[in-house]
Amino acid sequence: MSIPFGAGRLEIEDIAALSRRDARAVLSSAPAFTSQIQRGADFLKRLLAEEGVIYGVTTGYGDSCTVAVPVELADELPHHLFTYHGCGFGDHFDAQQTRAILAARLASLSQGYSGVSLELLQQLEAFLAHDILPLIPQEGSVGASGDLTPLSYVAAALCGEREVKVDGVQMPAAEALARFGLKPLRLKPKEGLAIMNGTAVMTGLACLAWERASYLSQLATRITALAVAASDGNPQHFDEKLFAAKPHPGQQNVAARLRLDLGAAKTGRNDHRLQDRYSLRCAPHVIGVLEDALPFLKTVIENELNSANDNPLIDPDEERILHGGHFYGGHIAFAMDSLKNLVANIADLLDRQMALLVDARYNHGLPANLSGATGPRAAINHGLKALQISASAWTAEALKNTMPASVFSRSTECHNQDKVSMGTIAARDALRVLQLTEQVAAAMLVTVRQGMALRQQTVSGAMPLMEGADAFIDALNTQIAFVREDVALEPVLRSLVASIQSQAWKLYD
């Protein structure tokens, strides 16, 4: 599948597909697109020759904009820009994240307002095609003037400098370019600024975070259905008439999915308990907040993805230089601060459901810690006791990371960047919260698989499930062994998290 750049609006799903290598980025070959790119580059070249004063081209950057750069040195300036920004730190972004970052930068530059050459766009296209992945440290961006420091590693790699990975092997960028018959770029005067001065890192990460959160919302709903069944709960809490009285669409969607899973609701069975505890009864109200927010957040992220967000912008039609602040990542900061809060609440919900299921005082007839051991051996087996502790730890860390990054603006760069977005930190936080919540979800998959098996062994058995939930339990049974004797669960948890992150199970949509 090919995804065209410069031919229309891109979606989160496009960036996610490119990040997984399920699609190929292709620059538009439409004459209108190539003409706009060329006219922008030609205008800049002519303006440089005629007037010689262009911000970031014949001036310094940021607070140094009053420093004039001799025209004869303008060609060197972009290389100095990515060189002195080579001060990132921390872990490197992984392969999937790096592809998303490259795709997001290509999307912005393909809007045709950055004054870059077609050759620069083609080099980015080639990096995605050959999977040449710059090593980009995660730390060092305040999210305005864009993702300068992390994107300096992209600019440097395009020019054959610093390190990249190809097929998982680290090598000098120059070596990787030579391997694929590519030449290092010599950046034109504004091109270093165009690559680095934008929101590509936070936006690429936001696309991945949104997709994972959307899947997690459905998975948490399926887990909730199985938690209700395993605890012999009351599925009539999700009655359609009940939810018609509170018309939040996302909340109603979650309740509808639970009705699709819990066949007992149609028979009237298991209504002997008037009200289950909140983590079961109010699950649609918790998951539903995320469901209702996802469409809005998708629009916010995709608007940023489809924006020209460097500075200055170049209007090739009216031949104007437009100085502004589109590098400011406030919308992505808000989206990611919001998303991490919503996702952490899912972790908390699942953790509370797990606490009920492993506690013999609240699980309505199941053994303590859902231990499958019987007879004399029951005394030395502990079931899921430690798993519940781990899930609680992951939940606590997820909740701790919900502190909004966007409120920690710092004045930087001699007070030129005196109000910054912190969007990239917010996006990194969101990915960490997602990882932790996916781990909690994996723990709950073990729990509901164990709980359903034990419920089947009771006198009354388990409530009947509808086809989708029933098939899902069958799939879990093949991946998760029944825990009769104590077992180290780390391998199965890692396998389950991998399945969650690859979206291995088809759920509702």
**Cα dist. 18→10, 53, 351 in Å?**
12, 39, 33
> Rounded to whole angstroms, how far apart are CA atoms 431 and 405?
13
> Rounded to whole angstroms, how far apart are CA atoms 363 and 367?
8
> Rounded to whole angstroms, how far apart are CA atoms 444 and 47?
62
Pairing of strands 89-92, 137-139: antiparallel
**Residue matched to tokens 């992951």:** 394
> Rounded to whole angstroms, how far apart are CA atoms 128 and 493?
32
Query: Which residues lie across from 172 on neighbouring strands?
Result: 163
Burial class (CB in 10 A: 0-12, 13-18, 19+), 52: middle
Contact 346, 286 (CB under 8 A): yes
**Cα dist. 379→371, 373, 376, 486 in Å?**
10, 8, 6, 11
CA 366, chain centre distance (Å): 37
Contact 430, 204 (CB under 8 A): no
Contact 85, 153 (CB under 8 A): no
> Rounded to whole angstroms, how far apart are CA atoms 252 and 235?
15
Q: What are phi and psi of 131, to 5 degrees?
A: 60, 45
Burial class (CB in 10 A: 0-12, 13-18, 19+), 172: middle
> Rounded to whole angstroms, how far apart are CA atoms 369 and 365?
12
Amino acid at site 96: Q
**Which residues have C-beta within 8 Å of that of residue 76, sequence separation ≥ 6?**
none
Q: Which helix (H) or strand (E) holds 293?
A: helix 283-305
Q: Is 328 one of the annotated active-site residues of the chain?
A: no
**Residue matched to tokens 């936006």:** 203
> Rounded to whole angstroms, how far apart are CA atoms 224 and 103?
36
Q: Which of 55, 153, 215, 508 is labelled catalytic? A: 55
The catalytic residue positions are 55
